[in-house]
A and B are shown apart, each in its own frame.
Chain A
């Protein structure tokens, strides 16, 4: 934890960190304002966090925000840093980090596809990566109902008898 503390002190002296959390022994999560994200990521890359392990999104529907999580990894000390920020859920837009980590291209397409977050500056982020001919709202949003979608599109098998009630389960 000592090295983690020194990393935190170092970051705190340079940036405005809104919150910190330690999900695991070798992981540190910092919350930032969205305008600081690119600066912090460039700084972390310059001090050895050369791998972007993950970019993902969390839908906090009650707060009305999307949380973007950038996970960067340092191969020298084995520490992950989770850089997090919150976006407005109504019109989610953010700026790309493809210029910093080219591998973010596919993560940004993934987040755009499943959450509908737009990444300005990434010209092909609108392209679908996994879904083909998708015709509904982005499916990882909390207000998407997969059961309803599935029932409409994919016919279920009809059984002549109800096995659950026959074996004495719920009726």
Chain B
């Protein structure tokens, strides 16, 4: 399966319009993150949010609903069941939106590489702007990653959401291959 790079270096010169640059400047300084706790990595976020590391000094805060959030954090292993809900959440979010993958499980499956229920590569299914490596990444690494994300947004490099629209067929094909069907079918949706 071919991997399409999200951060293609072909458009090296900044093609953004002036209002897009202004928009990106303000977006970068006020990021609301949708905190969907998919795996064990979510436990690193309370120390990142609270007084010790204090994420809010970067202008970031947690947000309860996907429709009001800018960043989707995939914190840890991603099961096939969770991926359906993640796709629901991601497609509800307003543009521009960014995806951050946490930990080795989202990168290559991590210790769940042979699990019958766990995705091995997140960027097959959603456009990942930034990976934070580690098992799990400590709050220092998380803060560092958020700092990188902010500078990427300022430079206009975090274009995963555009990539998702342009290559929707490819993403959709991967999603269907792994999940069979994206629609959630459980007892509560009968």
Contacts and interface: CB of A to CB of B under 8 A. Distances in A.
Interface in A146-166: 146-147, 149-150, 153-158
Interface of A is mostly: loop
B117 A155 contact: no
Contact of A132 (B1, B109, B114, B186): B186
B29 interface: no
Q: Which of A132, A147, A149 has the most CB of B within 10 A?
A: A132
B114 A150 contact: yes
A150 B116 contact: yes
A161 to B, nearest CB: 14
Size class of A's contact patch?
10 to 19
Interface in B21-44: none
B118 A154 contact: yes
A12 interface: no
Given A132-B185, A133-B180, A158 B3 contact: yes
B121 A157 contact: yes
Given A135-B180, A147-B114, A155 B1 contact: yes
A156 B105 CA distance: 11
A149 B107 contact: no
A150 B178 CA distance: 9
Nearest to A158: B3
Contacts of A146: 114-116
Contact of A133 (B116, B181, B187): B181
B87 to A, nearest CB: 13
Interface in B64-121: 80-81, 84, 107-109, 113-121
B5 to A, nearest CB: 13
A130 interface: yes
Contacts of A132: 80-81, 84, 184-186
Interface of A: 127, 130-133, 135-136, 139, 144, 146-147, 149-150, 153-158
Given A132-B185, A146-B114, A150-B115, 4 more contacts: A132-B80, A150-B113, A156-B121, A157-B121
Q: What 6 A-B pairs are tightest by C-beta distance, nearest first?
A: A147-B114, A146-B116, A157-B108, A155-B1, A133-B180, A154-B120
